[in-house]
Homo-oligomer: A and B are copies of this chain.
Amino acid sequence: MKILFIQTGGTIDKDYPKQTKGYAFEITEPAVKQILGKINPSFEYEIISLLRKDSMDLTVKDKKKIFETCVEANTDKIIITHGTDTMIETAKFLTEVEKKTIILTGAFKPEKFTNSDADFNIGVAVGALNVLKNGVYIAINGRVYRYDEVKRDKMTGKFISV
């Protein structure tokens, strides 16, 4: 089993700037690197740092880049880390990638936080990737949804079944 991890940015990768005046975060190294460093994985993997953006800032051009990276991947198992705000839109954009299993995931707290959900969420995506057939999925809050079976509750921010 080989997994390609594609970094696009989002909360999962946010870090505190080294020197700062004020309140802003910045997006740095892929959190996946940190997480896989703890687990001695029994699978091959590659990490591509494609984009480092908040998902509200992703453009159509960005989404095309993600699409092409999926198409060109030399494995059929792909996990994309992504901001939660537009994760479902990007999932829908990728449905024409053929013969691949793509899971989008992310986090509500940056991986660098002591109470982050990042390790768990990446785990959910990897666990599902062991079993799922081709298609585009979202793994979040402990659930795995097909891209067209999930929406976001506008009040709570939680992902729920359609």
Chain A residues engaging chain B, CB cutoff 8 angstroms? 1, 11, 14, 16, 18-26, 35, 37-43, 54, 56, 85, 108-110, 112-117, 119-132, 139-144, 156-160
Most B-side CB within 10 Å, residue of A16, A108, A120: A120
Across-interface contacts of A159 in B (CB, < 8 A): 42
**Chain B nearest CB, measured from A5 CB (Å):** 12
A161 (CB) vs chain B CBs: closest residue: B42
Partner of A131, one of B26, B112, B132: B132
Q: Judging by beta carbons under 8 Å apart, are B127 and A123 in contact? A: yes
Across-interface contacts of A123 in B (CB, < 8 A): 119-127, 142
Show 23 A/B contacts (Cβ-Cβ < 8 Å), sorted by A: A11-B16, A14-B23, A18-B157, A21-B56, A23-B23, A23-B24, A23-B54, A37-B115, A42-B140, A42-B142, A42-B160, A112-B114, A113-B113, A114-B114, A119-B119, A119-B120, A123-B127, A124-B124, A127-B128, A127-B130, A127-B139, A128-B131, A130-B143
